[in-house]
Structure 1
């Protein structure tokens, strides 16, 4: 992984939490030389309307994602673990829920 030069502009991802009870949502990106400047740019760009509860910036290079080409294998169901799926279990018939003690 290459290191960015000191003082070079970096890309930052912006996450905003509009109010209590809601999760942070990705709202866009900004370019800045440091986290403080990234927060200022994010505030200026993404909080013009409303009064958000919190604002996060994360260096884009630190965000790890699954690409669209990895989507099928990455998000594929774990068919080798059938106990995770309801069709693995036989449906109960009437009276099956009683224990034979």
Structure 2
């Protein structure tokens, strides 16, 4: 059950997306959503819901309405412009024979 399900609507409180950075990871990972009156309340609720076993070292909460994302349906046209930049790929550069990995 997600934090949003537990909130039960919460009288029109905004929805927040929760990201946690684990002890071993370098990146914040989306772990769920919850409703809260404000960002500070969302941060405390996220800590209680998503880091009960001390698995996090950092939490981000972001209002869901403030998240802008690309659509998987637009994957090809959205990411296609980077495909024609051959200098971004290691095949463009000569690799010395004594270099085992890039």
* Among candidates 73, 80, 85, match of residue 81 of structure 1: 85
Aligned to 1:71: 75
CA distance in 1: counterparts of 2:21 and 2:77, whole angstroms: 31
Matched pairs, number = 86
Runs of 5+ consecutive residues of structure 1 not aligned to the other structure:
1-6, 93-101
- After TM superposition, the score normalised by the length of structure 1 is 0.67
CA distance in 2: counterparts of 1:52 and 1:65, whole angstroms: 25
Structure 1 stretches of 4+ with a deviation exceeding 6 A read 89-92
Aligned to 1:16: 20
Change (3 A) 1:79 1:17: closer
User: Is residue 30 of structure 2 the alignment partner of residue 26 of structure 1?
Assistant: yes
Higher Cα Rg, which structure:
1
Task: State the SS of the aligned residue for 1:78.
Answer: helix
User: Is residue 93 of structure 2 the alignment partner of residue 55 of structure 1?
Assistant: no
